[in-house]
Amino acid sequence: MNEQLVDKLHQVLQQLKHTFIGKEDIIDLMGICLAGRENLFLLGPPGTAKSALVKALASHIDGHTFEYLLTRFTEPNEIFGPFDIRKLREGELITNTEGMLPEASFIFLDELLNANSAILNSLLMVLNERVFRRGRETRKLPALMVIGASNHLPEDEALQALYDRFLIRVKCDYVDPQLLSSVLQAGWQLEQANDSTATSISHDDIFQLQQQIGLVNLDAIRPDYLTLIQQLRNAGLQVSDRRAVKLQRLIAASALISKRTTAQRSDMWVLRYIWDTEEQQPIIAAIVDEMINSEPAGEQEHPRARHSGLPNADEIYRELQEMTIQWNDTAISPADKASIKDRLRYLNGRCEWITNPTRREYVMQPITALWQQIMQQS
């Protein structure tokens, strides 16, 4: 294993984490997909830094980046390039791909699910096989990674196949209100940033890193992996055989980024992010966490392995008690009242992710009680 390449990738990811506060899970997943040469799908409303995150990562990669905002009317020429007029005169249908998707190392397709039938089949081959095919023209693509983004999930069955080509799906939401001050400061620094000191990683470096995925031994965790896949299927998640095979690359990528050539149970944390619908997210995370936590922590675990992002009911309950005391303080300022309201809305949304109904109800009671106090005093 070339640990220098792993260190270089770590430096890039760390720089992104300093800039994008509260987005650490997304950044770590981008690193996993980049090392594993798999696709990542970002779901989130406008204004949650989806595009900014992807562009920032692309700026650290020495290579051609292709970015495009898809609409229902996007034509193949806009993505893949027009036919070469000179070749067309000679009777050949050859695409002029200069500066277009087929020549890109890093691809970002914003509003991915606006794709129409005219480009759908070509995109499927790009995503699944890293191949561009148009008529009799076929060529291998240099793409290291493809990221798609949307503010909604697919409703059209035709787009489901496109969505299925993205192994990892991650929610990009507004940050915790308590982090907003840090977000504003980091955002302002980003506006004034001087990129001369930024760490970059080359196309060849990433390609070499991707080639080392095959060095990771999965034998020790394969029985556990089979059990986990079956549990997820029993819970209603459609994990096809193809996806189950490809997910092994991301498990291996977790081990590789952790500077190991042997996978361990904790590397299966990446399976928290293979949901099809938002409702499945907490259920899948709970199943994966149970598998991971059934074994003591191993050596050199990925930092994301035991941080599922699921809310801790006890911590929320304690915070709610403190917020209630603060709200009832006669000296509370209007600004503090507004801050408590914002925080309460955030915690209310977080409680939807508590999978245990009893514990969820345990936390919702003080939320409801505090809201009633707020409404009575409004």
In a domain, 308, yes or no: no
Binned at pLDDT 50, 70 and 90, residue 196 comes out as low
| Listed ranges 188-192, 226-230, 239-243; the one with the highest mean pLDDT | 226-230
User: Which one of 258, 293, 328 terminates a domain?
Assistant: 293
* Separation of alpha carbons 149 and 126, rounded Å: 16
In a domain, 358, yes or no: yes
Cβ atoms of 186 and 47 within 8 Å: the answer is: no
What pLDDT, on a 0 to 100 scale, did the predictor assign at position 63? 84
Whether 31 and 121 map to the same domain: the answer is yes
Whether 273 and 349 map to the same domain: the answer is no
Angle among Cα 99, 101, 106 to the nearest 5 degrees reads: 100
In a domain, 121, yes or no: yes
Cβ atoms of 24 and 170 within 8 Å: the answer is: no
Whether 278 and 345 map to the same domain: the answer is no
Q: Is the pTM of this model over 0.85?
A: no
Q: What is the pLDDT of residues 303-313, one digit of tens each?
A: 888 876 667 77
- Residues facing 139 on adjacent strands: 132
- Residues facing 147 on adjacent strands: 40, 108
pLDDT value at 101 more than 90: yes
In a domain, 204, yes or no: no
What pLDDT, on a 0 to 100 scale, did the predictor assign at position 253? 96
What pLDDT, on a 0 to 100 scale, did the predictor assign at position 185? 66
Whether 73 and 159 map to the same domain: the answer is yes
pLDDT value at 208 more than 90: yes
> Is the backbone of residue 117 left (phi > 0), alpha (psi -120 to 50) or beta?
alpha
Whether 42 and 163 map to the same domain: the answer is yes
What pLDDT, on a 0 to 100 scale, did the predictor assign at position 354? 75
What pLDDT, on a 0 to 100 scale, did the predictor assign at position 183? 61
What pLDDT, on a 0 to 100 scale, did the predictor assign at position 20? 87
Angle among Cα 175, 253, 230 to the nearest 5 degrees reads: 85
Residues whose CB falls within 8 Å of the CB of residue 70, separated by 6 or more in sequence, listed in order: 109, 110, 111, 112, 114, 115
Whether 225 and 192 map to the same domain: the answer is no
Residue where the block lists tokens 């309950």: 317
Q: What is the pLDDT of residues 310-345, one digit of tens each?
A: 677 788 888 888 888 888 888 888 888 888 888 888
Whether 188 and 220 map to the same domain: the answer is no
Mean pLDDT for 70-79 is: 91
In a domain, 373, yes or no: yes
Q: Which has the higher per-residue pLDDT, 185 or 303? A: 303
Whether 343 and 274 map to the same domain: the answer is no
In a domain, 32, yes or no: yes
The tally of domains found in the chain comes to: 3
- Axis crossing angle, helix 3-19 with helix 241-257, rounded to the nearest 10: 90
For residue 178, which amino acid is it?
A: Q
CA dist 18 → 14, 56, 78, 296, 378 (Å): 6, 12, 35, 30, 39
What pLDDT, on a 0 to 100 scale, did the predictor assign at position 225? 96
Residue where the block lists tokens 């917020």: 323
Q: What is the pLDDT of residues 153-179, one digit of tens each?
A: 998 888 998 999 999 999 988 766 666
Whether 14 and 151 map to the same domain: the answer is yes
Mean pLDDT for 206-225 is: 94
Please report, rounded to a whole number, the percentage of residues in the chain having pLDDT higher than 90. Answer: 42
The DSSP H or E segment spanning 119 is: helix 117-129
What pLDDT, on a 0 to 100 scale, did the predictor assign at position 219? 95
pLDDT value at 32 more than 90: yes
Residue span of the structural domain in which 89 resides: 3-197
* Separation of alpha carbons 266 and 284, rounded Å: 15
In a domain, 306, yes or no: no
> 3-class SS at 77?
helix
What pLDDT, on a 0 to 100 scale, did the predictor assign at position 7? 92
Binned at pLDDT 50, 70 and 90, residue 263 comes out as very high
CA dist 311 → 17, 32, 176, 268, 359 (Å): 21, 23, 12, 20, 11
Q: What is the pLDDT of residues 43-69, one digit of tens each?
A: 988 888 889 899 999 989 888 999 999
Mean pLDDT for 146-150 is: 95
pLDDT value at 144 more than 60: yes
With 0-12 CB in 10 A as exposed, 13-18 as middle and 19+ as buried, what is 145? buried
Whether 141 and 261 map to the same domain: the answer is no
User: Which one of 197, 225, 243 terminates a domain?
Assistant: 197
Whether 190 and 99 map to the same domain: the answer is yes
Q: Which of 140-144, 211-215, 297-301, 320-324 has the lowest mean pLDDT?
A: 297-301
In a domain, 307, yes or no: no
Mean pLDDT for 265-277 is: 94
Q: Which of 5-14, 244-253, 357-366 has the lowest mean pLDDT?
A: 357-366
Q: Which of 105-114, 132-141, 292-301, 353-362 has the lowest mean pLDDT?
A: 353-362
Whether 186 and 117 map to the same domain: the answer is yes
For residue 361, which amino acid is it?
A: E
* Separation of alpha carbons 26 and 46, rounded Å: 16
Alpha-carbon dihedral 44, 45, 49, 52, rounded to 10 degrees: 90
Mean pLDDT, rounded, of the chain: 86
Mean pLDDT for 82-94 is: 70
Binned at pLDDT 50, 70 and 90, residue 254 comes out as very high
Give backbone dihedrals phi and psi of 274, rounded to 5 degrees, phi first: -115, 20
> 3-class SS at 139?
strand
The DSSP H or E segment spanning 32 is: helix 24-36
